[in-house]
Homo-oligomer: A and B are copies of this chain.
Amino acid sequence: MSKTYSISELATEFDVTTRSIRFYEDQELLRPARRGQTRIYSSKDRVRLKLTLRGKRLGLSLAEIRELFELWDETRSGSEKQLQLMLAKIGERRAALEQQMKDITMVQLELESAEIRCRQALEELNQKRSDEQRPRASG
């Protein structure tokens, strides 16, 4: 018996609403089992949810994520064409990720220098203030 999860357990763990989780199922990103009407999520489902959210953070649409899942499932018993397609998709993703990496390092550099400038501006403000508090020899 491997562990299972309720919808609200997953919701609180990953900080998403149950509405979202059901929506992901509607978009065929998840296929939880049922006991009666109630959804029961396996740890495999949990991984899928985790991957889904990670994909979202990287800017993938739900449709793209689904496509990757499907391709990956087909890869197991895949024909040569499907394997090639998967490789192509993987290549695309990798290229996009490298672009994102570049973007991130650029923005990080910008943020860093922005932070420095901010701190300098703050220092100058403090400087002025202490100048005003003890105005000794001034013209």
A136 to B72, CA, bound (A): 35
Q: Does A115 contact B (CB under 8 A)?
A: yes
Tell me the dominant secondary structure on chain A's binding face.
helix
Closest to A77 in B: B121
Q: Which residues of chain B have C-beta atoms less than 8 A from A111's C-beta?
A: 90, 93-94, 97
Residues of A within 8 A of B (CB): 54-55, 57-59, 72, 75, 78, 80, 83-84, 86-87, 90, 93-94, 97, 99-101, 103-104, 106-108, 111, 114-115, 117-119, 121-122, 125
Beyond A54-B103, A75-B121: 19 further Cβ-contacts under 8 Å? Answer: A54-B107, A58-B59, A58-B107, A75-B114, A75-B117, A78-B121, A80-B122, A80-B125, A83-B122, A86-B118, A87-B115, A87-B118, A87-B119, A90-B111, A90-B118, A97-B107, A97-B111, A101-B104, A104-B104
